[in-house]
Structure 1
């Protein structure tokens, strides 16, 4: 099937393409989030187990975000040349290869090889992250936040189910003779294969290539095309998204390790699975609400709402760090704050950027976001060992304060 339609594009045909694109991307996000959600919870535990040192556990999350950072810009450039379908499918292939490497590393107890596999999974997740931008390629100004948030919301299903599959995966892995803590990668592999087939078969015509055609030809309505470039607002959007992601990633990465010292060894897998599941629900479950608010209230106000939720989360984590229920509440608020800032920040970045520059800035945003989170996650392990989980939460407040202080730039 062709990547773009040969027939002239009308407002009605563009709307139909957009609806089909959002549906396909949402289904792909369900599968991709099952794959990623079933493994992200295991990264820190595998790293600590294989290395024998809790202080190195943060390197798993740091490496997965580093992989996303390295791959974000190349995948965005490929999308600009060959379309979203090509870049998303390539991301699925990278993640599949990474899963094989991680399971092999666990079998031979190789910490460096584990990081290589996690790096590849992170590179694959860079493609998955770009799905939210693909939802904005043909969106109108009035629905940009809503369409983006629908794709983000679809991650709820897999993101919640994935961590809950950890006990089942462990049982299945033992039956098949797999290394400890790797059984859930079977679900990840199946989900990645499903997403790959979906994108190859159903993502036609390609939304980005179609948007580029609209920009060149002037077909359909002008509201699909951004004609005014606002680089200062775009840079603030990148900073707000990256800062919020650093806060979320650093605290979330250390939560499994912190909980492992609070609960018994027999229940740690289940407790970690439930905690990460409700955190992921916070990240994605209310994203359509934040998308609607971003369309109605404005992008900047919802970014600031997200910072308020992050402050509530970090204070809860600091004050109730020794209570299992307090940690769970903090993780829910952490997810909600991340969701508000990410949905509205991505919408602001898109509408502050002309169509021809979108893939480049979107790739740069994902790369900066992932690089910053990789540094934050690596530092989080050291901070956890130094001043504990509550101290880590208080340190993260500095980043939230910076996002709030620089918010006037988002109005330019």
Structure 2
């Protein structure tokens, strides 16, 4: 067993995974509370300081902050491990919340937008936690573990906005400007989430001889060829071969922090280039961006469509709540299905649900009183996003070699945020030009690259590790030759 230090003792076997997932769920829940509470009032605060013309910039700044942070946070995780990456991300978001409060006090909208951009880093961190759940996990349970972390977002998304009023009262008691109270709770939530990240357990393992010795060479070769999550001959406890001291992949004892012997973490561009040449990974990258763009385009225009048809704000709230419930509540079910039947099958189901949702949305647009159909369309849209997001994330966790996996995950999350931002920007003009039917037609067109990527993954023999065109659970990372791993 490795030596104990201030970061906590090494944890082994089932205890390692139980404690790790528990802390990741806790951190994601706390981070979700902070994000949802802040986003609920962010636009209002921007409008109050800068006027109506600035109102949309608040959400844009947060999305941009999330997108820009995704790749650097992934690089930090690849080099130093998930613990440091997650903690730094939450610390930046906490600084953003403090900056937002400061901007409200000094009434500076530019400072406010900068704070909202930093605040958006929390969303990138919350996204990264799902990949952290898969680090060191056996291939047969990765999807379920990832789904548990995603599911925690449900609680945060519901609890966060409901804390706006208590936060506002707290802010008034402290003499702070209106609408800043929720950011006080965000500071506390992000601080606690950072602490949870710092307590992520280390994987205990015996020292590995330095590279270049006979024993060290043999051990390094064995580690590079062993399946992720398999027993480690050096005494690893369920961490993947080459895991970092905190259980994150990409670090081996005897190597520089976060680096495998004889290999260094690849950059985001190299990772994306690799993914485009491998059908399963390509499907993961494309599906995450497409599913998010489709979801954002339809979701952000639904309240406007409903109000244009005379539906009440209360009904709008119910429909959006059902949509958010669909996005997260059934994540554990989709995780089980991905482990049982393979991530590509769940990806196909996700695409099918997205297609059904846009057909229902198109039909609802033609009805003057189509509230039930609209609610159904948005719920199915959330379910399709959930299945697509989870299955694509599992594909990325399974498919890429260790040195490219974390950079690929970061680049994919950045692409997802950029795709959502572009979709949101285009949705307004499309609604103005052709109504809600045109929005759903545009969403259907956006789906075409994902359909093509899915067809390519189905045709690729053995891409899923079972010779079934990518339908299996495991992927090339679990059986990749040492030569390709570097």
Relative to the length of structure 2, the TM-score reads: 0.71
Give the 3 Å change call, closer, same or farther, for CA 328–188 of structure 1 in structure 2.
Answer: farther
Q: Partners in 1 of 2:49 and 2:428 — Cα distance?
A: 16
2:402 to 340, 351, 355: 355
Other structure's SS at 1:235 match: helix
2:62 and 2:121 in contact (8 A); partners too: yes
Give the 3 Å change call, closer, same or farther, for CA 354–289 of structure 1 in structure 2.
Answer: same
Aligned to 1:236: 283
Greater C-alpha radius of gyration: 2
User: Deviation of residue 274 (structure 1)?
Assistant: 5.3
1:44 and 1:253 in contact (8 A); partners too: no
Query: Is 1:291 paired with 2:335?
Result: yes
Q: Partners in 1 of 2:9 and 2:71 — Cα distance?
A: 29
Which stretch shows the higher mean deviation, 285-294 or 395-404? 395-404
Q: Partners in 2 of 1:45 and 1:383 — Cα distance?
A: 25
Aligned to 1:401: 448
Aligned to 1:30: 29
Give the 3 Å change call, closer, same or farther, for CA 303–257 of structure 1 in structure 2.
Answer: same
User: Deviation of residue 355 (structure 1)?
Assistant: 1.9
User: Deviation of residue 187 (structure 1)?
Assistant: 2.5
2:200 to 191, 198, 203: 203
Q: Partners in 2 of 1:107 and 1:166 — Cα distance?
A: 18
Other structure's SS at 1:218 match: helix
1:159-308 equivalences under 5 Å are: 159-170=157-168, 172-173=170-171, 178-200=176-198, 202-205=199-202, 218=223, 222-224=227-229, 231-255=278-302, 275-308=319-352
1:100-139 equivalences under 5 Å are: 100-106=98-104, 110-139=108-137
User: Deviation of residue 253 (structure 1)?
Assistant: 3.7
| Cα shift readout 1:309-368 (whole Å, capped 9, x = no counterpart) | 222333344444575555544332222111100111010111111122211111111111
2:279 and 2:453 in contact (8 A); partners too: no
Give the 3 Å change call, closer, same or farther, for CA 180–263 of structure 1 in structure 2.
Answer: farther
2:94 and 2:190 in contact (8 A); partners too: yes
1:163 and 1:274 in contact (8 A); partners too: no
Other structure's SS at 2:137 match: coil
Q: Partners in 1 of 2:78 and 2:34 — Cα distance?
A: 26
Aligned to 1:73: 71
User: Deviation of residue 86 (structure 1)?
Assistant: 0.5
Give the 3 Å change call, closer, same or farther, for CA 6–174 of structure 1 in structure 2.
Answer: closer
Which stretch shows the higher mean deviation, 104-113 or 387-396? 104-113
Aligned to 2:421: 374
1:41 and 1:273 in contact (8 A); partners too: no
Q: Higher relative contact order at CA 8 Å, sep ≥6: structure 1 or structure 2?
A: 1
Query: Is 1:336 paired with 2:336?
Result: no
Q: Partners in 2 of 1:3 and 1:398 — Cα distance?
A: 53
1:28 and 1:198 in contact (8 A); partners too: yes
Consecutive unaligned residues in structure 2, runs of 5 or more: 208-215, 230-239, 243-273, 461-486
Q: Partners in 2 of 1:176 and 1:383 — Cα distance?
A: 44
2:96 and 2:117 in contact (8 A); partners too: yes
User: Deviation of residue 216 (structure 1)?
Assistant: 6.8
1:58 and 1:381 in contact (8 A); partners too: no
Relative to the length of structure 1, the TM-score reads: 0.83
2:150 to 149, 152, 160: 152
Give the 3 Å change call, closer, same or farther, for CA 255–223 of structure 1 in structure 2.
Answer: same
Other structure's SS at 2:85 match: helix
Across the aligned residues of Structure 1 and Structure 2, the Cα RMSD in angstroms comes to 3.6
2:343 and 2:391 in contact (8 A); partners too: yes
Q: Partners in 1 of 2:56 and 2:429 — Cα distance?
A: 8
